[in-house]
Structure 1
Amino acid sequence: MSQVPLPKVSPLKVALIGYGFVGKTFHAPLIAATQGLELTVIASSDSQKVHHDYPDVEVIASPEQAVTHPDIDIVVIASPNSTHAPLAKRALLANKHVIVDKPFTLDLAEARELIQVADHQQRFLSVFHNRRWDSDYLVIKHAIEAGKIGEVAQFESHIDRFRPEVRDRWREHAQPGSGLWFDIGPHLVDQALQLFGLPDTVDGNISLLRQGAKIDDWAHVVLNYPKHRVILHCSMLAAGGSLRFVVHGHAGSLVKREADQQEAQLVSGLRPGSSEWGKDGDELIHYSAQGEATYLPTPAGDQSRYYQGIVDALSPGGKNPVTPVEALAVMAVIEAAVKASQSGARQSLALTAEEVAQF
């Protein structure tokens, strides 16, 4: 991407597009807690809901009008997945810097177009892959990098839930961008790519298992590397017994039983900066080659580091916390898994040589 012109003196004014679960639970409190950002506008049809939480924020019912608001520096797209690309493009063409919630877009074509538009407009573009700052992922990452289990042979990552009843919400309707794989898959894939880079090929099995399901609610995807395998799994029918991470290496194994607690903390009203923010009392279990178990403390997670990274990136010498090409690679794996599941055949990533080199 070309050099992005630096915005005016902070605080940078932010427009949040969408105040559903993701906008209300994650983006709004994380933005509000970040020094250097000012949550100024929220696009929502429910002004009462917004003003209950943020009385001084301007509420605009039309997302299209909100993304072109003249006072805004950064637009955050947290609306339904099918709207990500058109709203992000509109914001970029209005000379706004843009953050898109995951998944980046519905497909690689949309993702590539947004990257081209951002480059042409010389605007900053990033994707909210917030799970890079989860406690469970951080402790696994640190242990692998420290060589606790030697060379990794098998890496297994689960985000499982128990929601047996199909709910009347857009994520569970049969429409583009809905379903569990597009919801949870980007988290699982992004973490795996950060650890291991791009896989050679992808196998996928994506299905509907709940009675009355209209879109996928179960996914089992395998990323194939020359010397190891990465298993990514998500389900709506796991009442218990799932482990968040299991990693086997040539010198031992790692087990992380419970998931990061930041989502639950945000839902309960806890905010970044609180004494308990991001803390995770579930220790990592390290099994030696002799089978002896050692318990290692889990560092606190802090998803607000993403938004602090945005402030830093829009300062001289700053670095984008999640680059567009990293998000493009995630979409390539998401798309490959869907094609593998539909065809029953192993898939390669539909990335160009230039895109692979940039990752």
Structure 2
Amino acid sequence: MSVLNIKHGEKFMSQKVINVGLLGFGLSASVFHAPLIKSVAGFNLTHILSKQKDKIIALYPNIEIVTDIELLLANPEIDLLINTLPNELHYSVTKRCLEAGKHVVVEKPFVVNTAHASELVKLAADKNLCLSVYHNRRWDNGYLTLQQELDKLGTVHLYEAYFDRYRPEVNLQKWRETTTQGGGILYDLGSHLLDQVLNLFGMPEAVFADLETQRTNAQLTDYFHIVLYYQKMRVVLGSSSIMAQARPVIAAYGDKGSYVKYGLDPQEDMLRSGMLPLERGFGIENPINSAQLNTKNESGVNEQSIISQAGNYLNFYQQLYSALVDCSHELPVSASSAADVIRLIELCIQSNDLGQKIYL
């Protein structure tokens, strides 16, 4: 970690600079990580581990490209490593990074089982290193707006969230469609929905899950329906790869009102198009996708459209920077909370295999 003097007016302000290495340069790294890291002044993206040299040079000509991870682990100038490698490498590579004394961010899902999650949480604590998991959907616009409006709903009895796609054709060239460790949409998309629920309501009392492989030639789970039990409240989560018309992305129904939101957060599409997080209008959706908030009043029900807050994936890295330079700040996503997500995923698999509700 170094110190950069930044001119502000007639004064120079010192800012700690954290040197960052990015492991991998697939969709996750190129769309969801590199542009955000480059948008936080305190981070200095210095190295990328990848064989995609031409693609990287076109975007980041001054970054050093390496193909041997040992060069990053042994480099004392690198403070933070971002693990965006395939899911089956999350545990082994993250462990090596921590053992080398590096802070680490792991792309979701954290790992593929709770034993590995617990081991990494303990290792990071023993070495006094920061370990976080990129559950960026905590900063989706609909989810942020729901938290803003939640008190107006009274006691919530039903919460629903769906992450649907229309991808009827299976692409077996993609590792997410073929890997036997952490593949399929339960790990890929279910981890997002479970993390959002745990962040709102904590661990449930019981879990029921129905998992299926529906598409022709599909090898892994491409459909799930999950019910989480919280005393009288129920949480229903779902995802399908063959939904030509999507369900609400998020909905909550309470004794004083309801909140229903259609339309995925626009940040992914904006990042894919090359728009950067600091550009004007980033994260702001078309008002046609505004949520519907219905609340009880003296004359019946008040119906109104709620303009969503701007989505803010950048906040993950802003919070991470604050935590790395000042230990009084919390990590944006704790590794222990991400471990709880993996525990629930394993319970969902167990529930599906047994065909019954599983009590925690």
When normalised by structure 2's length, the TM-score is 0.92
Letter in 2 for 1:312: S
The match for 1:151 among 155, 167, 192 is 155
Task: Give distance in 2, aligned partners of 1:83 and 1:66.
Answer: 16
SS in 2 for 1:48: helix
Deviation at 1:283, TM superposition (A): 1.6
Q: Write out aligned runs for 1:1-359 (5 A).
A: 7-9=1-3, 10-144=16-150, 147-167=151-171, 168-280=173-285, 281=287, 282-289=289-296, 290-316=300-326, 317-349=328-360
CA contact (8 A) 2:164 2:246 kept: no
Structure 1: segments with no counterpart, 5+ residues: 1-6, 350-359
Task: Give distance in 2, aligned partners of 1:208 and 1:99.
Answer: 31
Task: Give distance in 2, aligned partners of 1:17 and 1:212.
Answer: 31
Task: Give distance in 2, aligned partners of 1:205 and 1:63.
Answer: 39
Task: Give distance in 1, aligned partners of 2:70 and 2:206.
Answer: 39
Task: Give distance in 1, aligned partners of 2:219 and 2:156.
Answer: 37
Deviation at 1:115, TM superposition (A): 1.1
Letter in 1 for 2:353: Q
SS in 2 for 1:100: strand
Could you say which residue in structure 1 is the equivalent of 2:12? none
Residues 256, 109 of structure 1: CA spacing in aligned structure 2 closer, same or farther, 3 A cutoff?
same
Instruction: Judging by fraction of residues, say which structure has more strand.
Output: 2
**Cα RMSD for the two superposed structures:** 1.3
Task: Give distance in 2, aligned partners of 1:288 and 1:199.
Answer: 27
Deviation at 1:69, TM superposition (A): 3.1
Structure 2: segments with no counterpart, 5+ residues: 4-15
SS in 1 for 2:163: strand
Deviation at 1:58, TM superposition (A): 0.8
Task: Give distance in 2, aligned partners of 1:114 and 1:149.
Answer: 38
CA contact (8 A) 1:68 1:90 kept: no
Task: Give distance in 2, aligned partners of 1:204 and 1:339.
Answer: 8
Deviation at 1:8, TM superposition (A): 4.5
SS in 2 for 1:160: coil
Structure with higher Rg: it is: 2
Count residues with an aligned counterpart.
341
Deviation at 1:240, TM superposition (A): 1.1
Letter in 1 for 2:181: P
Task: Give distance in 2, aligned partners of 1:189 and 1:67.
Answer: 32
Residues 262, 67 of structure 1: CA spacing in aligned structure 2 closer, same or farther, 3 A cutoff?
farther
Task: Give distance in 2, aligned partners of 1:31 and 1:8.
Answer: 17
Counting aligned pairs with the same residue, the percent is 35
Deviations 1:155-196 (A, max 9, x none): 000110000000121000141111111100111011111111
SS in 1 for 2:153: coil
Residues 141, 68 of structure 1: CA spacing in aligned structure 2 closer, same or farther, 3 A cutoff?
farther
Deviation at 1:214, TM superposition (A): 0.4
Residues 70, 197 of structure 1: CA spacing in aligned structure 2 closer, same or farther, 3 A cutoff?
same
SS in 2 for 1:204: strand
Letter in 2 for 1:148: K
SS in 1 for 2:152: coil
Residues 263, 67 of structure 1: CA spacing in aligned structure 2 closer, same or farther, 3 A cutoff?
farther
